[in-house]
C-alpha cells in the first residue's frame, strides 16, 4: 500500500485496466487497485466508483478511482493499493510549509531536456523557498543548506542497483555485488580454460606423433591450428549446451540462496546470439595457445623424443596452477570473513534484548481497543511485558527524523537531527533497554506528556553533560527525564545516531516479551486473545530476533554465494590438478618403478610426486593472502561495527588448500607407489 498524488500515474505513465489515469486519484479518499487485487475482490467487473474499506483506516471508505495493471517484477514500484494524497495532511500545514519533506519526487523530463542543467536550475527552488523559510524562522542551518545540499536526478531504471544516497524505504540491490560476483564467475571460467590449456599442453607428447606425421605428409601449420581450434570450439559449444541445462535445473536453488526471482529470458532476441558469441570467445581463449603450441612441433624433435621429455614440466603450467589456487584461496578467506562478520552482527550486544519478543502487526485496526488488548495480554501467565507503538529497533518500522535545539536556542545554534519515537511506558522494559541516568515514563503522570528520554548519542550531540533536567525543544519543549544506553536501531553499517522517546499511546505493532522459552505455547495464548478482539482478521506476527536477522539477509546471502563460488572454484581447480597429477604419474611411471626396485619406500614416492604440487599451493597462498586481506578490508569498511581480520583466518585457508591439494593428488601418487614395477618395466 503506497500513497501518491494524481501526477504519479501521469509521470510514470502507469497503464490502467479501468478508469481514467488523468482523474483516478484527483479526489480525496480515492484509491487505485492493482489488477490482482481487483480480480480478487471484484472478479470480472469494473469496480470504478465503488467503495472499499482498507485496514489503514477501517472507519473511512475509499472510492475506487480505477484499476492499474500489475507492476512488472523488475520495477521497484510494487504496490497493490495506491492511495491519493489529494486533500491529505499528516500534520497541519504539510502541503504548504517548506520546513519538511517526506516523499520521493518523480519527474518526467522533456526529450530535449538536459538532466545536468536541470539539477543546477533546481537550486533556485532550494534558495528561494527552503533556504528562505530557514532564514525567516532564524534557523542557523540555512548557510549550510545553501552550501552543501544539492538535488540529484537519477533515471528510474538505475535506482535498484545504483541507489547510494537514496532513501526511499524500498529494497534495493547493489551494483557492486553484480560486478563482484560477475568477476568471480569470470575467474572460475578462466580456471576451466586453464584446465583445458594445462591438460592440452601436458598431453602434448601423446599428440606429437600425430602432428609430426601430418607435417611429414604435407600438412601446413595453419591447417593444424584450425584443426585444434575447431576441437576447442566443439568442446566449448557442448559445454555451453550442458551449462544451459544445469542452469535451468539449478535456477530455483540459486534463487533461494540469493533471495531473488531470476529466470532465463528465453524469449529475448539477444540471448542466443550472446551465448553463441560467448561459446566462440571461450573456445578460442582456451584453444588458441594449445593450437599454436601443438602445431609448432617439428618432426625431427618428435623422432628424437625431446617433446616427451619437455612435457614433463612446464613453468606455464605451474603458473596456471598457482593462478587457480590463488583464486580458490581468496574465495575461501572471503567466505570465512563474511560468515564471521555475520556471526558478530547476530551475537554482539545491540543495546536491547531481541530474544523471546513476539511482534504482532496490524494493531491499528483495533480502533479503540488497543489498551484493553494490551491488558488482556498482560494477564497471560507466559507474558512479562507488552508495549504498543509503531517504532522498533529494526529496519522496516516507522521512523521520524526531527531537528532539536536546547530550549530557546533555535535561532542561535544549529539543530541536531534526531529520531523522535512515540512509545508507551512499557517500551523500555519490553525491549530490555537500560537506563543509565534518570527514570522511565510513569503511567498516569500528567507531566510526562512534556517529558523526553534521549539516548547517549543524542546527549553527546547536543552537548548535554548532565542531561537529566535539561530542557530541549523540537516543535514543543520537553524536559529530559532519562538517558537510555545507546542501542542499534538501524544497520551496523552506520554509527548509532541521536534518538529520543516521547509518550504516545497506540500504534500498529504490539510487542510481547515472553517469560517462557516455549514460544509455541506463548503464541497459542496470544492468538486466543487476538481472536477475541479480531475474529475476522488472522493474526500476523514475527519474532524480533528473526526480524533483526533479516536486516542482514544481504550479508547472509553474500556469504552463501561466496561459499558456493569457493566450492565451485575448488572443484574446478581440483579436477585440473587430479588430471594433471594422473598424467605426471603416467609420464614418470618408469622412473617410479626403477626407484621402487632400488628400494624406495611408498612414503618416498608419495613425497616425490606431491612435493611440487604442495610448493605451488604454498606459492598461491603467499600471493592470495595480501590480496584477500585488502579486498575484505575494503568490504568491512562498509560497517561501522565490524570484526578484525586475524591471522588464524589465513592459517585456516592455507591448511584447507594444502589438504585439498594433497587429497586430490594422493590417489594417483599412492596408486603409483603401490604399483608392480614389473608392469611398467616389461618393455625395457
**pLDDT tens track for 227-259:** 889 989 999 999 999 999 999 998 888 888 777
Q: By the 8 A CB rule, do 5 and 25 touch?
A: yes
Instruction: Look up cell 617410479; give the residue.
Output: 592
Q: Is residue 192 part of a domain?
A: no
The three grid cell numbers given for residue 176, joined into one nine-digit string: 557492486
**Given this model, what pLDDT does residue 312 score?**
44
Q: State whether 406 and 469 are in the same domain.
A: yes
The three grid cell numbers given for residue 619, joined into one nine-digit string: 606459492
DSSP, res 298: -
**Of the residues 69, 88, 107, the one at which a domain ends:** 88
**Given this model, what pLDDT does residue 518 score?**
84
Q: State whether 602 and 673 are in the same domain.
A: yes
Q: By the 8 A CB rule, do 327 and 187 touch?
A: yes
The answer for residues whose C-beta is within 8 angstroms of residue 381's C-beta and 6 or more apart is: 515, 525
Polymer length of the chain? 684
CA–CA distances in Å: residue 255 to residues 157, 251, 275, 345, 548 = 22, 6, 21, 24, 22
The three grid cell numbers given for residue 495, joined into one nine-digit string: 554509527
Q: State whether 506 and 364 are in the same domain.
A: yes
DSSP for 622-643 reads HHHHHHHHHHHHHHHTT-SS--
**Given this model, what pLDDT does residue 480 score?**
96
Q: By the 8 A CB rule, do 287 and 244 touch?
A: no
**Given this model, what pLDDT does residue 671 score?**
76
Q: State whether 300 and 262 are in the same domain.
A: yes
Q: State whether 509 and 361 are in the same domain.
A: yes
Q: Is residue 166 part of a domain?
A: no
Q: State whether 442 and 561 are in the same domain.
A: no
Q: Is residue 107 part of a domain?
A: no
Q: How many domains does the chain have?
A: 4
The three grid cell numbers given for residue 289, joined into one nine-digit string: 595457445
**Given this model, what pLDDT does residue 48 score?**
93
Segments of the chain with pLDDT less than 50: 309-313
Instruction: Name the residue range of residue 349's domain.
Output: 324-355+543-684
The span from the CA of 347 to the CA of 645, in Å, is 17
Q: State whether 589 and 635 are in the same domain.
A: yes
Strand, coil or helix: 18 = strand
Q: Is residue 12 part of a domain?
A: yes
**Of the residues 54, 88, 122, the one at which a domain ends:** 88
**Given this model, what pLDDT does residue 204 score?**
65
Residue in 161, 179, 325 with CA at minimum distance from that of residue 635: 179
Q: State whether 554 and 666 are in the same domain.
A: yes
pLDDT tens-place string over residues 446-479? 999 999 999 999 999 999 999 999 999 988 899 9
Q: Is residue 267 part of a domain?
A: yes
Q: State whether 221 and 365 are in the same domain.
A: no
Q: By the 8 A CB rule, do 620 and 325 touch?
A: yes
How many CA atoms does the CB half-sphere of 201 hold within 13 Å?
23
Q: Is residue 160 part of a domain?
A: no
Residue in 479, 632, 474, 663 with CA at minimum distance from that of residue 562: 632
Q: State whether 348 and 361 are in the same domain.
A: no
Q: State whether 457 and 389 are in the same domain.
A: yes
Q: State whether 289 and 362 are in the same domain.
A: no
For residue 471, the cross-strand partners are 479
CA dihedral (556, 562, 564, 568) in degrees, to 10, reads 180
Q: Is residue 44 part of a domain?
A: yes
**Of the residues 44, 64, 88, the one at which a domain ends:** 88
**Given this model, what pLDDT does residue 224 score?**
82
The span from the CA of 665 to the CA of 291, in Å, is 27
Q: Is residue 163 part of a domain?
A: no
The span from the CA of 371 to the CA of 377, in Å, is 10
The H or E element spanning position 274 is: helix 271-295
Amino acid at each position: 500500500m503506497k500513497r501518491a498524488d494524481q501526477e504519479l500515474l501521469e509521470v510514470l505513465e502507469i497503464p490502467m485496466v479501468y478508469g481514467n489515469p488523468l482523474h483516478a486519484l484527483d479526489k480525496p479518499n480515492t484509491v487505485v487497485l492493482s489488477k490482482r487485487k481487483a480480480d480478487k475482490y471484484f472478479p470480472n467487473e469494473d469496480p470504478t466508483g465503488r467503495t472499499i474499506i482498507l485496514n489503514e483506516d477501517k472507519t473511512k471508505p475509499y472510492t475506487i478511482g480505477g484499476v492499474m495493471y500489475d507492476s512488472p517484477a523488475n520495477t521497484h514500484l510494487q504496490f497493490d493499493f495506491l492511495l491519493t494524497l489529494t486533500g491529505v495532511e499528516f500534520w497541519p500545514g504539510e502541503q504548504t510549509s517548506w520546513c519538511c519533506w517526506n516523499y520521493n519526487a518523480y519527474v518526467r523530463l522533456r526529450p530535449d531536456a538536459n538532466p545536468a542543467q536541470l539539477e543546477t536550475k533546481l537550486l533556485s527552488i532550494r534558495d528561494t523557498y527552503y533556504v528562505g523559510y530557514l532564514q525567516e524562522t532564524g534557523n542557523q542551518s540555512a548557510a549550510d543548506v545553501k552550501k552543501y545540499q544539492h538535488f540529484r536526478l537519477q533515471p528510474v531504471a538505475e535506482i535498484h542497483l545504483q541507489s547510494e544516497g537514496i532513501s526511499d524505504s524500498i529494497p534495493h540491490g547493489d551494483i557492486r555485488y553484480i560486478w563482484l560476483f560477475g568477476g568471480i564467475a569470470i575467474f572460475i571460467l578462466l580456471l576451466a580454460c586453464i584446465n583445458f590449456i594445462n591438460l592440452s599442453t601436458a598431453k602434448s607428447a601423446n599428440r606429437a606423433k600425430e602432428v609430426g606425421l601430418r607435417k611429414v605428409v604435407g600438412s601446413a601449420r595453419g591447417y593444424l591450428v584450425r584443426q585444434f581450434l575447431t576441437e576447442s570450439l566443439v568442446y566449448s559449444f557442448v559445454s555451453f549446451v550442458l551449462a544451459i541445462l544445469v542452469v535451468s535445473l539449478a535456477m530455483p536453488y540459486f534463487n533461494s540462496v540469493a533471495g531473488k526471482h531470476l529466470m532465463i529470458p528465453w524469449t529475448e532476441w539477444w540471448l542466443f546470439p550472446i551465448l553463441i558469441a560467448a561459446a566462440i570467445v571461450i573456445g578460442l581463449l582456451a584453444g588458441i595457445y594449445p593450437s599454436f603450441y601443438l602445431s609448432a612441433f617439428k618432426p625431427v624433435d618428435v623422432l628424437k623424443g625431446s617433446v616427451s621429455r619437455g612435457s614433463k614440466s612446464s613453468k606455464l603450467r605451474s603458473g596456471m596452477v598457482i593462478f587457480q589456487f590463488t583464486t580458490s584461496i581468496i574465495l575461501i578467506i572471503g567466505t570465512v570473513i563474511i560468515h564471521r562478520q555475520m556471526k558478530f552482527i547476530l551475537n554482539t550486544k545491540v543495546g536491547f534484548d531481541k530474544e523471546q519478543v513476539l511482534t504482532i502487526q496490524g494493531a491499528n485496526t483495533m480502533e479503540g481497543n488497543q489498551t484493553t488488548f494490551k491488558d488482556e495480554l498482560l494477564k497471560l501467565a507466559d507474558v512479562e511485558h507488552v508495549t504498543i507503538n509503531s517504532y522498533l529497533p529494526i529496519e522496516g518500522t516507522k521512523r521520524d527524523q526531527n531537528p532539536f535545539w536546547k530550549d530557546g536556542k533555535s535561532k542561535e545554534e544549529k539543530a541536531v537531527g534526531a529520531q523522535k519515537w512515540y512509545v508507551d511506558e512499557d517500551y523500555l522494559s519490553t525491549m530490555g533497554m537500560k537506563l543509565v541516568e534518570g527514570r522511565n515514563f510513569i503511567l498516569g503522570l500528567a507531566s510526562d506528556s512534556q517529558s523526553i528520554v534521549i539516548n547517549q548519542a543524542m546527549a553527546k550531540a547536543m552537548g548535554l553533560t548532565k542531561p537529566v533536567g535539561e530542557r530541549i525543544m523540537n516543535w514543543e519543549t520537553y524536559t529530559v527525564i532519562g538517558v537510555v544506553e545507546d542501542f542499534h536501531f538501524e544497520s551496523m553499517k552506520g554509527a548509532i545516531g541521536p534518538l529520543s522517546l516521547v509518550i504516545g499511546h497506540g500504534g500498529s505493532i504490539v510487542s510481547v516479551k515472553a517469560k517462557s522459552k516455549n514460544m509455541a505455547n506463548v503464541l497459542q495464548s496470544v492468538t486466543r486473545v487476538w481472536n477475541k478482539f479480531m475474529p475476522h482478521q488472522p493474526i500476523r506476527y514475527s519474532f524480533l530476533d528473526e526480524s533483526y536477522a533479516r536486516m542482514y539477509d544481504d550479508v547472509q546471502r553474500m556469504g552463501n554465494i561466496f561459499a558456493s563460488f569457493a566450492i565451485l572454484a575448488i572443484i574446478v581447480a581440483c579436477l585440473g590438478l587430479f588430471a594433471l597429477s594422473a598424467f605426471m604419474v603416467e609420464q614418470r611411471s618408469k622412473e617410479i618403478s626403477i626407484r621402487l626396485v632400488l628400494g624406495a619406500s611408498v612414503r618416498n614416492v608419495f613425497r616425490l610426486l606431491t612435493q611440487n604440487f604442495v610448493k605451488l599451493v604454498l606459492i598461491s597462498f603467499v600471493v592470495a593472502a595480501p590480496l584477500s586481506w585488502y579486498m575484505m578490508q575494503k568490504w568491512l569498511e562498509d560497517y561501522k561495527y565490524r570484526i578484525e581480520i586475524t591471522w588464524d583466518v589465513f592459517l585456516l585457508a592455507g591448511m584447507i588448500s594444502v589438504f585439498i591439494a594433497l587429497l586430490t593428488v594422493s590417489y594417483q601418487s599412492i596408486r603409483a607407489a603401490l604399483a608392480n614395477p614389473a608392469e611398467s618395466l616389461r618393455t625395457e
